[in-house]
Amino acid sequence: MKNTDPSVSLIPDERIVSKVLLLRGVKVMLDRDLAELYRVETRRLNEQVSRNRERFPEDFMFQMSQEEFALWKSQFAISNSAVKMGLRKKPYAFTEQGVAMLSSVLRSKRAVQVNIQIIRTFTMLRQILASNAKIKTKIEKMDTQIQSIYKILGQLLAEEEKPKHRIGFRSGDID
């Protein structure tokens, strides 16, 4: 029986989220991480993409620059030579639209299911970021209100500290 329940996942959402990177101001996933999720070799994924290159314009997929690649590689202390094997070439980065397009070139049932899950995860991330932006705006508004309250309290405290003139005589004033 086919599983159509969106709450049942092939891959934990946290695993997908951990593979989302921010490159050039865009959320992307790398070819090697996508290949791992789809359970195909990276070179097979890239072969399918290159055979269908017209489906992947620059805003769907781009190759890391040499600087991005060097920075990305430096973030990992890799000692396992098997892992290093996949780091000879600059990886391709797929935007959300590129990931969606992959489902048209990778036609296995798993690829389609994983793609759906990845797209849902991108949507969830977008909703979280939008929610955080609203919260940030509310906090900033509250912060300015709190600063105003502190200013008023400071003025009130300053008025209390001023010496008040007493009405009447002091004991040393009469001769």
The CATH number assigned to the domain holding 76 equals 3.10.260
- Report which of 90, 17, 101, 113 is spatially closest to residue 59, judged by C-alpha positions: 101
The answer to whether residue 57 is domain-embedded is yes
- 11 phi and psi angles, rounded to 5 deg: -130, 135
The answer to whether residue 23 is domain-embedded is yes
**Parent domain of 98:** 13-133
Q: For residue 23, what is the enclosing H or E element? A: strand 20-23
The answer to whether residue 83 is domain-embedded is yes
Instruction: Enter the tokens of residue 159.
Output: 């008025």
Secondary structure letter of residue 12 according to DSSP: -
The answer to whether residue 148 is domain-embedded is no
pTM exceeds 0.85, yes or no: no
The answer to whether residue 155 is domain-embedded is no
Q: What is the pLDDT of residues 119-153, one digit of tens each?
A: 888 888 888 877 877 777 777 777 777 777 777 87
The answer to whether residue 167 is domain-embedded is no
- Domain count along the chain: 1
The answer to whether residue 162 is domain-embedded is no
- Is residue 63 classed as helix, strand or coil in its secondary structure? strand
The answer to whether residue 8 is domain-embedded is no
Q: What is the pLDDT of residues 30-85, one digit of tens each?
A: 999 999 988 889 999 999 999 999 999 999 999 999 888 888 887 765 544 445 55
